[in-house]
Amino acid sequence: MSYSGAVPTARSRAMVRETRHLLFTVAPGAFWIFIFLVLPSAYLMGVAFMTNGPYGLPQMPLSLDAFERLAGVGFLGWSPGNLYTLLRSLWQTLVSTVLVVIVAYPVAYYITTCREKWRPILLLLVVVPSWTNQVIRAFGWMNLLAPGTPLSSLAESLGLVAPNMGLYPSNLAVTLGLVYNFLPFMVLPLYAAFEKLDTAQVQAAQDLYASPVRAFWHAVFPQTLPGLLAGTVLVAIPAFGMYVIPELLGGGKGMMLGNLVANQFAGSSNWPLGAAGAILMLIATFIGLFAMRRIGKRLGGGEEVVI
Amino acid sequence: MVGGKNITETPPHQRSVNTVFQSYALFPHLSVRENLAFGLKMRGMPAAERHTKVDEIADFIKLGDLVDRHVDQLSGGQRQRIALARALICEPDVLLLDEPLSALDAGLRSQLQVELLRVQKRLGMTFVFVTHDQQEAMVMSDRIAVLNGGTIQQVGAPREVYERPVNAFVARFMGHDNLYTISARKSDRLITALGELTAEDAGNGELLLIRPETLDLLPGAVEGPNHLTATVAERLYRGSHAEFRLAIGNTTLQATVNNRGRHLPEVGETVTVAVAPEDLVTLHE
């Protein structure tokens, strides 16, 4: 009896020790996440449900005013402005992500076909632009696309834009800016996928009567899918929340959700509305991530592909 | 050439040749069934027909219960068999096997060798089996083609290639080490570093090949035709047989002796090597 009593004590002592170890290793991270993620998020939540004060600062009582304003209900009845901004954000995200994939896919493939000693240099060339400040690069695009520049003149003479309008500011300029900005985030994961591509599978597909197109579709594409989905997450989520590019290249009609939120904390000052906008962005992002996961599972044949 | 037609210009996806790859190259995102049906699907066979075909072939390779699994749930040997079935299901004129067993451990390997051999016999299909293992080549083949640097050195039945290699490369590839330069000839008598030996068919090669298993070891120094006196330099006892490295003058000779329970010479012992004239072969460098 005394023996059987000794076992749990030893075991519980070991458990205590293990828990203490766990506490020491996990605590710093958990503390960090609590201070810089949980607290601000909770604060944001709180602000979103408060009422807008006279100087744009949140005050009591709690209300759903901010969400009503976000949905477009104002003093003058319903206006679709914010809805358009949301739809524009989604559309810009979709279009720019698709364009990024179209550009990045062949680029990533091309780099893997180059000699090994050139590959790091080519990858560096892909990444180098992102070492420059985003704002400076956006200004670069302004100079390229402004009325009177060669590109704009060309577009005007082709009748693509109205005379003297130029390509900037416009939604097209925002799309170009987003594609340019996020290209490296798609090229790198795709490159990683292409680099470990099992070429035997391609040979096998051709051996089993697949034409080149079908061999690509059945033997190459599935292998690059994890990279493609990872790249999509890296591109689509920041693109959706982008502030700088639509601010600088979009003009009045190019606003995205990020600008709507930023404006509430700066210019027009309505913190609760800004917080509500941020929450909307979070929810949209989570829905997007969840959808990606589902797609990844379906296409990846049961494997976990992303995140 | 396949079935009398030159296929050099035909793109791979139109050739009636299917391949079993060294790495198997199964499609990991597809189930076993989808992998097996891939070739049929690419050739436009209707789904229902594909289904029956897959069930047939899965029964044939005795993996019927695996068809609905995922590729990454299979063992190496199972993958190998699925890769084989995926190629067989298309009923090609020629099945190409590119070192299909080299990734498997020795036991499974010899088991699958026998299995492949039976499959080939049952189907009567032409298998082109690529291997670096001469034992495997001899077990599996009706005819062996020995290639070096892209050129065929010799084509022949396993016994022919092993016992009558045409040149030193083939001889060494088949595992022969006892090759001696013939320094002079007196009709059918050949002078080498070992001494003078008589060959029944002396040919006109400049190298003499002596297969270790054709040698008899007699205890002590015995005079006689094609008898050489030697000292045992090394003895490797392998249970069923023993391998000897024998010193004759300045050169060495390998001999293999079956273990029939008789005396096996010790290291340092003087022995006489006897070889029959019909077992000696000459060949070119």
- Residue A280 belongs to domain with CATH number: 1.10.3720.10
Q: State whether residue B30 sits within 8 Å of chain A by CB.
A: yes
**Is residue B269 located within the same domain as residue B223?**
yes
Q: Are residues B136 and B187 in the same domain?
A: no
In a domain, A69, yes or no: no
The strands making up B189-192's β-sheet, listed across from edge to edge, are B184-186, B189-192, B195-198
Q: Which of A203, A212, A222 lies nearest to residue B25, judging by beta carbons? A: A203
Tell me the helix, strand and coil percentages in chain B, rounded to 5: 30, 30, 40
Question: Cα–Cα distance between A297 and A193 in angstroms, integer?
Answer: 17
Of B142, B162, B197, which residue constitutes the final position of a domain? B142
B20 to chain A: nearest residue by CA? A204
Q: What local confidence, expressed as pLDDT, does residue A302 receive? A: 45
Is B158 part of a structural domain of the chain?
no
> How confident is residue A2, by pLDDT bands cut at 50, 70 and 90?
very low
Low-confidence ranges of chain B (pLDDT < 50): none
Alpha-carbon torsion angle A43, A44, A47, A49, nearest 10: -110
Q: Does B17 touch chain A (CB under 8 A)?
A: yes
- Is a pLDDT exceeding 60 seen at residue A202? yes
Same domain, A10 and A157: no
Tell me, yes or no, whether B135 and B247 share the same domain: no
Q: Which of B267, B207, B261, B218 is nearest to B243 (CA)?
A: B267
For A86-138, write each residue's pLDDT tens digit. 888 888 899 999 999 999 999 999 988 888 889 899 999 988 888 888 888 88
Residue with tokens 């436009």: B44
| Total domain count, chain B | 2
Average pLDDT on A242-268 reads 81
Report whether pLDDT(A305) > 70.
no
Residue A246 has what pLDDT? 84
Instruction: Answer yes or no: is A287 within a domain.
Output: yes
- A 60-99 residues with CB < 8 A to B: none
Instruction: Based on the fold, state whether residues A139 and A42 are members of the same structural domain.
Output: no
Residue B42 C-alpha, separation from nearest chain A C-alpha, in angstroms: 6
Same-domain check for residues A142 and A225:
yes
What's the whole-number mean pLDDT along residues A42-70?
80
A119 touches chain B (CB under 8 A): no
CA distance B202 to B187: 8
CATH code for the domain in which residue B109 is found = 3.40.50.300
Question: Which has more pLDDT, A249 or B155?
Answer: B155
B247 occurs within a structural domain: yes
- Residue B151 in any domain: the answer is no
Do A112 and A11 lie in a common domain? no
B39 touches chain A (CB under 8 A): yes
Average pLDDT, chain A: 83
Q: Are residues B72 and B134 in the same domain?
A: yes
Residues A155 and A222 in one domain: yes
Task: Report the range of poorest mean pLDDT among A226-230, A257-261, B3-7, B198-202.
Answer: B3-7
| Type and span of the H or E element at B185 | strand B184-186
CATH number at residue B192: 2.40.50.100
Q: Are the beta carbons of A222 and B12 separated by less than 8 Å?
A: no
CA–CA min distance A303, chain B (Å): 8
For residue B109, the SS3 value is helix
CA distance B153 to B165: 9
Domain finish residue from B142, B168, B197: B142
Alpha-carbon distance B226 to A163, whole Å? 105
Mutation choice for B interface testing from A198, A208, A213 by most B CBs within 10 A: A208
A37 shares its domain with A95:
no
Residue among A197, A207, A214, A304 with most chain B CBs within 10 A, to mutate: A207
Task: Measure Cα distances from A31 to A25, A27, A41, A45 in Å.
Answer: 11, 6, 15, 20
> What are the structure tokens assigned to A288, written together?
């997007």
Closest residue of A to B88, CA-based?
A208
- Contact indicator for A89, A256 with CB cutoff of 8 Å: yes
A304 in any annotated domain: no
A89 and A195 both lie in a single domain: yes
Q: Are residues A145 and A264 in the same domain?
A: yes
Asked if B24 and B136 sit in the same domain, the reply is yes
pLDDT, tens digit (0-9, with 9 covering 90-100), for B16-56? 788 888 888 888 888 888 888 888 888 888 888 888 888 88
| Per-residue pLDDT tens digits for A267-290 | 777 888 888 889 989 998 899 888
Exposed, middle or buried: residue B19 (CB in 10 Å: 0-12, 13-18, 19+)?
buried
- Its domain, for residue A101, covers 83-299
Across the interface, whether the CB atoms of B13 and A300 are under 8 A apart is answered: no
Written as six digits, the tokens of A165 are: 């309008």
For residue A234, which of A175, A183, A171 has the smallest C-alpha distance?
A183
* Cis peptide, bond prior to residue A169, ω within 30 of zero: yes
Exposure of B45 in the CB half-sphere (CA atoms within 13 A): 18
What is the least distance, in Å, from the CA of B23 to any CA of chain A?
7
Residue B153, in any domain of the structure: no
Is B42's Cβ below 8 Å from some Cβ in A? yes
- A302 touching chain B per CB within 8 A: yes
Say if A307 falls within a structural domain: no
Decide which of A83 and B144 is more confident: B144
Domain assignment present for residue B150? The answer is no
Same domain, B59 and B127: yes
In a domain, A233, yes or no: yes
- For chain B, how many residues are written? 285
Domain that holds residue B233: 179-283
Of A206, A218, A225, the CB nearest to B27: A218
* Residue B42 lies inside a defined structural domain of this protein: yes
Structural element, H or E, at residue B244: strand B241-248
> What distance in Å separates residue A300's CA from the closest CA in chain B?
6
If asked whether residues A92 and A200 sit together in one domain, one would say yes
- Looking at the predicted structure, is the pLDDT value of residue A303 above 60? no
Residue B7 lies in a domain: no
Write the residue in A200, A206, A225 that is nearest to B23 by C-beta: A200
- From B11's Cα to the closest Cα of chain A, the distance in A is 9
Together in a domain, B118 and B183: no
Contacts of B39 in chain A (CB under 8 A): 208-209
State whether B131 and B31 are in the same domain.
Answer: yes
The Cα A48–Cα A155 span in angstroms is 44
B285 touches chain A (CB under 8 A): no
Q: Is B89 touching A (CB cutoff 8 A)?
A: no
CB atoms B13 and A203 under 8 Å: no
Instruction: Establish if A91 belongs to a structural domain.
Output: yes
- Give the C-alpha separation, A203 to A210, whole Å: 9
Domain-located, residue A62:
no
**Alpha-helix runs per DSSP H in chain B:** 32-42, 47-60, 76-88, 106-123, 134-140, 158-163, 168-173
Q: Which of A100, A109, A95 is nearest to A223 (CA)?
A: A109
Residue whose entry in the numeric block shows the structure tokens 């901010």 = A66
Specify whether A7 is located in the same domain as A104.
no
Task: Output A73-76 pairs: Cβ under 8 A, ≥24 positions apart.
Answer: none
Give DSSP secondary structure letters for A106-155.
Answer: HHHHHHHHS-TTTHHHHHHHHHGGGGS-HHHHHHHHHHHHSTTSHHHHHH
Q: Are residues A28 and A88 in the same domain?
A: no
Query: Does residue A76 lie within any of the structural domains?
Result: no
Residue where a domain stops, chosen among B142, B164, B188: B142
Tens digits of per-residue pLDDT, B211-233?
A: 999 998 888 888 888 888 899 99
Same domain, B83 and B184: no
B94 CB-near residues (< 8 Å, 6+ apart)? B2, B16, B17, B125, B126, B127, B128
CA A228 to CA A220: how far, in whole Å?
A: 12
- Does residue B5 sit within a domain? no
Which residues have C-beta within 8 Å of that of residue B206, sequence separation ≥ 6? B181, B182, B282, B284, B285
Mutate to test the interface with B, among A198, A199, A209 (most CBs of B within 10 A): A209
The pLDDT assigned to A94 comes to 92
CB contact under 8 A, B70 and A211: no
Q: What pLDDT score does B144 carry?
A: 92
- Predicted local confidence at residue A39, as pLDDT: 92
The answer to whether B93 touches B3, Cβ cutoff 8 Å, is yes
Q: For chain A, how many structural domains are there in total?
A: 2
- Together in a domain, A7 and A89: no
Predicted complex ipTM: 0.71
B29 closest CB neighbour out of A209, A210, A301: A301
Indicate whether B127 and B196 sit together in one domain.
Answer: no
* Cβ(B231)–Cβ(B196) below 8 Å: no
Q: CA torsion sign, A149 to A153 to A155 to A159?
A: positive
Can you say whether residue B137 is alpha, beta or left, with left for phi > 0 and alpha for psi between -120 and 50 degrees?
alpha
User: What was the pLDDT predicted at B237?
Assistant: 92
